[in-house]
């Protein structure tokens, strides 16, 4: 899919002043479409995650750990764009559920590493059904969802760059 020029490099992505579209209508706002979609997605995940005993934020933590077991809390926070104040209670609940263990790194006691327990590793097999169920609920193929995900990652990257340059 061709990439859209960034607003800094071209005016092509900017609405023209004479456009017939009212850019201040709620349904024209990308931020609202993303927000409403995020709410709908989180509601959809709730019954899918209930059999696993996970909330949506806990599921995100587990996804990262299933990719990379033994990650530090700070690296996990960076990956999820969460601060330690938000992450710590999540990790405590996952530890209480015996899905993860937390321990100070031997080489740097300031660092806390997170590891999956055997129960946490086994939970991955149960979670494998979730992407397919999400695809069915969205009426999209896994390929379509993958493409949309890639586009949203690119959007987030551009928005982060714009925020960093301010």
- Gap between the Cα atoms of 46 and 29, Å rounded: 26
Quickly list H helices, 3-83: 30-49, 56-67, 73-80
Give the DSSP letter of residue 66: H
* Span 111-121, pLDDT tens digits: 999 999 999 99
pTM above 0.75, yes or no: yes
Beta carbons within 8 Å of 119's beta carbon, 6+ residues apart:
97, 98, 99
Q: What is the pLDDT of residue 109?
A: 83
**Going residue by residue through the chain (166 aa), what tens digit of pLDDT does each one get?**
444 444 444 444 555 655 678 989 999 999 999 999 999 999 999 999 999 999 999 999 999 999 999 999 999 999 999 998 999 999 999 999 999 999 998 888 889 999 999 999 999 999 999 988 988 999 988 889 899 999 999 999 999 999 998 7
The percent of the chain in helix, strand and coil, each rounded to the nearest 5, is: 60, 5, 30
């Amino acid at each position: 899919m061709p990439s859209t020029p960034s607003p800094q490099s071209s005016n092509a992505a900017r609405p023209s002043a004479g456009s017939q579209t009212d850019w201040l209508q709620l349904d024209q706002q990308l931020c609202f479409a993303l927000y409403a979609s995020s709410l709908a997605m989180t509601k959809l995940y709730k019954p899918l995650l209930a059999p696993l005993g996970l909330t949506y934020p806990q599921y995100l933590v587990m996804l990262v750990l299933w990719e990379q077991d033994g990650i530090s809390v700070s690296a996990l926070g960076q990956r999820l764009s969460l601060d330690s104040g938000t992450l710590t209670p999540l990790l405590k609940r996952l530890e209480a559920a015996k899905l993860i263990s937390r321990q100070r790194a031997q080489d740097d006691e300031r660092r806390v590493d997170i590891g999956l327990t055997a129960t946490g590793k086994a939970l991955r097999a149960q979670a494998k059904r979730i992407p397919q169920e999400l695809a069915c609920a969205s009426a999209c193929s896994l390929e379509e969802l993958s493409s949309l995900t890639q586009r949203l990652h690119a959007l987030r990257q551009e928005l982060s760059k714009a925020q960093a340059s301010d």
